[in-house]
Amino acid sequence: MTQRLHLVFGGELVDPTRSVFKDVNDIHMVGMFPDYQTAYDAWKAEAQRTVDNAHMRYFIAHIHRLRDETAEASSTEELG
């Protein structure tokens, strides 16, 4: 069975109209989730918790889309 991992993270942005973090060392990693619905629920909870700060944004990253598991990878690629 293929896993569809999702990462929820967020932090304060320099400008609310752009997705540039004010301090990347201060990014809040909410967690890794096994499906979109669970990730969405976590994202929504964090977004609602920080609704009073217009510069705070949370995102859902579709980790499973970063890599095509059907394609062979070289040993160097496996190391990152």
Q: Residue 52: its pLDDT value, please?
A: 93
Q: What pLDDT does residue 3 have?
A: 77
Show the low-confidence residues of the chain (pLDDT under 50).
none
b/e sequence 2-41, b meaning 16+ C-beta within 10 Å: eeebbbbbbbbbeeeeeeebeeeeeeeebeebeeeeebee
Residue 78 parent element (H or E): helix 75-79
Question: Residue 75 domain-assigned?
Answer: no
Residue type present at position 73: A
In a domain, 63, yes or no: yes
Question: What is the reported pLDDT for 4?
Answer: 87
Q: 1 in a domain, yes or no?
A: no
Look up the domain containing 54 and give its range.
6-69
Domain presence at residue 74: no
At residue 66, the pLDDT reads 80
State the total domains in the chain.
1
Q: Which residues pair with 13 in a beta bridge?
A: 21
Q: Give me the CATH number covering residue 42.
A: 3.30.70.2400
Q: Classify residue 32: in a domain, yes or no.
A: yes
Asked if residue 12 belongs to a domain, the reply is yes
Quick one: pLDDT at residue 33?
96
